[in-house]
Amino acid sequence: MPREIEWTDAEEIGIQLQEKYPDVDPYTVRFTDLHKYVTELPGFVGDPQKSNEGILEAIQTAWHEEYEDAK
């Protein structure tokens, strides 16, 4: 079973998103889509209503770092 993750686990979420969507530039993803991607990750247990722009920006930045490292 995957490790449980919450909205505050931006680095772990970024890693998982990079693994799941390796060819997607995170900075091209709309926040509405990013929210959906995160809530669909295995092990995600956060309340979908508890996200906000700051949280999504942190996740997007963490994902972008993983994206750049994978190049």
Residue with tokens 């995160």: 38
Residue 1 pLDDT: 64
Q: Is 40 left (phi over 0), alpha (psi -120 to 50) or beta?
A: alpha
Q: How far apart are CA 18 and CA 24, in angstroms?
A: 8
The structural domains of the chain, ordered by start, are: 10-70 (1.10.10.600)
Across the range 10-23, mean pLDDT stands at 98
Residue 2 pLDDT: 72
C-beta of residue 13 within 8 angstroms of C-beta of residue 38 = yes
Residue 55 tokens, joined:
């949280």
* Mean of all residue pLDDT scores within the chain: 96
Residue 22 tokens, joined:
């390796």
